[in-house]
């Protein structure tokens, strides 16, 4: 266990140690790690996907992907919340000498909720539209990496968050497949209201 903790701290210190060396990289990291760029990008991708598709069948697959991604986010957030009841890990800037490019979050560092959300969207969408899912995975990965670079998460925190997000997206897909009439009903209502 001590080996993994030391490796985690060493990896954090190495990556966070680049802060201040390349000002342009710090500026990019500040933008990526913010609460706005990646969440807004993911939200716009979901909205665009909801209304896209060359055929009615393709449009419905995309809409099911959006529902899966949204439910995946809900499940991932619930899992993070439950895990935080049992595990509280201080942020790296609390216990180590770290350079911060972000505000000081006070919640548990493990698992990374932003990573969980981003990967839940990417996986949930990707199970219905591989091309879009593959495009969103690097966005999720960059978001997770920026959390470490900016000094607010350990590498294991974002890996744990990614695992929770992957599980949340997969569980959402299975749940919506099991409850097939529910997504069909939602789509029928949305079409009747000219929202799909």
Least confident of 49-53, 89-93, 146-150, 177-181: 177-181
Q: What phi and psi, each to the nearest 5 degrees, are found at residue 34?
A: -60, 165
Q: How does pLDDT run across 15-37, given as a tens digit for each residue?
A: 999 999 999 999 999 999 999 99
Residue 2 is predicted with a pLDDT of 77
Round to whole Å and give the CA distance between 45 and 186.
Answer: 20
184 has a pLDDT exceeding 90: no
Q: How does pLDDT run across 128-175, given as a tens digit for each residue?
A: 999 999 999 999 999 999 999 999 999 999 999 999 999 999 999 999
Mean pLDDT of 88-108: 93
Least confident of 51-65, 89-103, 141-155, 174-188: 174-188
CA distances (Å), 195 to each of 47, 49, 51, 192, in order?
Answer: 11, 13, 8, 8
Q: How does pLDDT run across 109-124, given as a tens digit for each residue?
A: 999 999 999 999 999 9
1 has a pLDDT exceeding 70: no
CA distances (Å), 52 to each of 60, 64, 132, 169, 194, in order?
Answer: 9, 12, 11, 21, 14
Mean pLDDT of the chain: 94
Mean pLDDT of 4-12: 89
In the block, which residue shows the tokens 């000002």? 23
Residue 187 is predicted with a pLDDT of 85
Letter string b/e over residues 16-43, b meaning 16 or more CB atoms within 10 A of that residue's CB: beebeeeeeebeebeebbbeebbeebbe
Q: Which of 42, 40, 60, 41 is nearest to 51 (CA)?
A: 60
- The pTM (predicted TM-score) of the whole model is 0.93
Domains assigned to the chain: 2-192 (1.20.144.10)
Round to whole Å and give the CA distance between 44 and 50.
Answer: 10
């Amino acid at each position: 266990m001590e080996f993994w903790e030391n490796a985690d701290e060493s990896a954090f210190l190495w990556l966070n140690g680049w802060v201040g060396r390349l000002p342009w990289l710090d500026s990019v990291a500040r933008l990526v790690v913010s609460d706005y760029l990646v969440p807004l990008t993911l939200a716009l991708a979901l909205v665009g996907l909801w209304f896209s598709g060359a055929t009615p069948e393709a449009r419905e697959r995309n809409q099911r992907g959006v529902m899966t991604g949204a439910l995946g986010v809900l499940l991932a957030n619930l899992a993070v919340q439950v895990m935080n009841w049992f595990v509280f890990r201080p942020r790296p800037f609390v216990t180590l000498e770290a350079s911060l490019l972000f505000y000081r979050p006070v919640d548990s560092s493990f698992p990374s909720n932003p990573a969980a959300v981003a990967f839940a969207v990417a996986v949930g969408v990707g199970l219905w539209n591989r091309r879009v899912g593959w495009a969103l995975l690097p966005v999720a990965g960059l978001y997770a990496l920026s959390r470490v670079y900016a000094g607010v998460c350990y590498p294991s925190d974002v890996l744990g968050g990614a695992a929770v997000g992957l599980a949340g997206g997969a569980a959402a897909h299975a749940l919506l497949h099991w409850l097939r009439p529910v997504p069909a009903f939602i789509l029928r209502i949305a079409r009747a209201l000219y929202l799909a």
